Chains A and B, each alone.
Chain A
Amino acid sequence: MSESVAAEHDYIGLSEFPTMEPTTMSDKTKTRDNNNNSNNDDDDCLNFKATELRLGLPGSESPGRVDPRFLSLKSSGAKRVFSDAINESNKWVFSPGSITATGDVGSGGSAVKDSKPVVPVKEKKSSAAAPAAKAQVVGWPPIRSFRKNTMASSQSQKQGGGDNHNNSETEAEAKSGPEPCLYVKVSMEGAPYLRKIDLKTYKSYVELSSALEKMFSCFTIGQFGSHGGCGRDGLNESRLTDLLRGSEYVVTYEDKDSDWMLVGDVPWEMFIGSCKKLRIMKSSEAIGLAPRVMEKCRSRN
């Protein structure tokens, strides 16, 4: 599951309104750590911890990762003003702005705060991670979203086969270019802005829901609290699903026939093939949707 978590944080190809990710990444970490405190039976938690960012001394990690010359530089240590805070039991990753997706950081200690993001300087990554999954730190390198999005859609056009026509055969909300991007708008009741996400970057409802959760958590921040326990796939990422299914909000989508349907009832491939728009609405408003879903499924099958 770490890989899919990592994939979501690949900031090339992200929607235009990214970055709830970092903070809710640490949110997850916090929650998982809380879980660790209480009942740790979730193996994913450990793996997740392995991927969390540490900001601090190289050398406080497993030494193999870091150029040993760093150690000598750093250990002639400047006093850390911070040393008190490190020792407390508070485990949350303090640097939500920086995330790494590397898979092989030793899950060495609890003290995460005084470590720097572990980014190997010149070493080849010994990692199990795919070549593109280099340490992904949010907002680094400092390139504007506009440029990243433009380059991303450029690249996808080049990959999208010989069809390079940029004409408006694509829908207004899709980025220019055919296949590889599938941008849909996501709106939420009560939220001041629309978002856009690229459905092709997700492979399952679980990924989608966790991405939506991150994007919109700031609008429902009071309502999440700390949901301990795991969602339906045994992962805390489906907290949104919990929340959405369980209480106030549901995710709905408008399909090609311009009907509004509940998200989650059709196979994923079918969903992304027909989804035009997403909307997160209050459960009370979505009541009328269920019967139509059944009809559609019947008529399709």
Chain B
Amino acid sequence: MDAVWFGLNVFLFVDAFLKYEKADKYYYTRKILGSTLACARASALCLNFNSMLILLPVCRNLLSFLRGTCSFCSRTLRKQLDHNLTFHKLVAYMICLHTAIHIIAHLFNFDCYSRSRQATDGSLASILSGLSHDEKKGGSWLNPIQSPNMTVKYVTFTSIAGLTGVIMTIALILMVTSATEFIRRSYFEVFWYTHHLFIFYILGLGIHGIGGIVRGQTEKSMKESHPCKCAESFEMWDDRDSHCKRPEFEGHPPESWKWILAPVILYICERILRFYRSQQKVVITKVVMHPSKVLELQMNKRGFSMEVGQYIFVNCPSISLLEWHPFTLTSAPEEDFFSIHIRAAGDWTENLIRAFEQQYSTIPRIEVDGPFGTASEDVFQYEVAVLVGAGIGVTPFASILKSIWYKFQCADHNLKTKKIYFYWICRETGAFSWFNDLLTSLEQEMEELGKVGFLNYRLFLTGWDSNIVGHAALNFDKATDILTGLKQKTSFGRPMWDNEFSKIATSHPKSVVGVFLCGPQILAKSLRKCCHRYSSLDPRKVQFYFNKENF
């Protein structure tokens, strides 16, 4: 999909470049400007194309709708719809690249126009530049710089194209610098509010071409005095008996609005839809304050149906009218409510937790949009599932583990899983003690049903020191782990994946094992390597499949 998009970009660029480089209509324009005309126009076309595309991936409701109607479509297509933000960023980078090309080309263009305006050597370029701006003579000028005294800066800031260009570029730069990963993760509000500068970008783009600064020869003028015949004899254009008259030029009509009109309308619909959905009533059925400042909200909303691994956007008008923050759903679809666990990780989350902590005032109103994201149904298709959750990546597994457990209890036929190996890697369990409790209760339920072997989990604490380890060593004899209270003992450090994979391979020599990760990229690399290494060459024996889904 990305390759198709890239190919289209290349095709559009080359096509426009050749058109402006070869067409006779722009022969005289090229005489002044050279190849930079074609460069600027080619990058302009790519900018139009990419500006059209950039609004589409962020229409998440539209994408959800497409995915819903496409439930019979191939899974790869649906997964593409989920990598919407990646595509948005890719298109943004392309816009930045073409903006740079466009600006540099036009800088050269303006300089050429300026020089030929000031030239007094009687060359073709200077004569073309002298073509009058006088409206009475048809306004068929070529050079936008009207007099030799005008500087390029003046023309830039007094023409619509120049002014909107500067505004758009500054808006673009501010959007990009506030959207770097570091700023987005640490100061989300800066990113969110600054990114709304896109409105200026889109408006600017719509009116950028109105001035018709890009000039080509008119049809009529080409019929009368075609450049092939007349360009050589430019000194004689004004002679009464010459065949060639002065060429006349017209501006290129603006076409950017044609590209962006439909996406803008779709985006407006998207925002209206988000607003409408947010107005639907959300009933909070339970509020739980977990240790380490984690807030659990159990809610109900009419018509809400979720699948495992999805997320919702939450807004709290009393804290901030405009901010929507994403949270992974931690409840299973089988439950009659949906829940999220909110950790204090910034201004908005801390304010939210504080608002809910007030026991004697009314509960703040919550608005919910969603759910979004691919359902991770693949988890249920494997006989043996290896689930790895690192740090905050453990959150979608709450939903998955609960759902697997419900399906198992009802002997759901869709569930092919017979054994789960769950690896939980985090620095310290503090903020995830609620997940701890979930594992404990799952442990208990499994014991009651007599299915102790179904779920195997191991917790790895990477933030250990010798105190913790000494403490664990002293309490080795106890039945439950001293840190977590779980039957499984905590290990310290990072898992040695080779050992784990070889153990799993020997215990399940004939199974297909699905490996699912929610965590950092480095971990994904090592897991993928292990999957390759431990998958047997014989397709009937153990096979490990690493699932690239990002929850």
Bind each other: no
* Interface residues in chain A, defined as those with a beta carbon under 8 Å from any beta carbon in chain B: none
> Which positions in B face A, CB cutoff 8 Å?
none
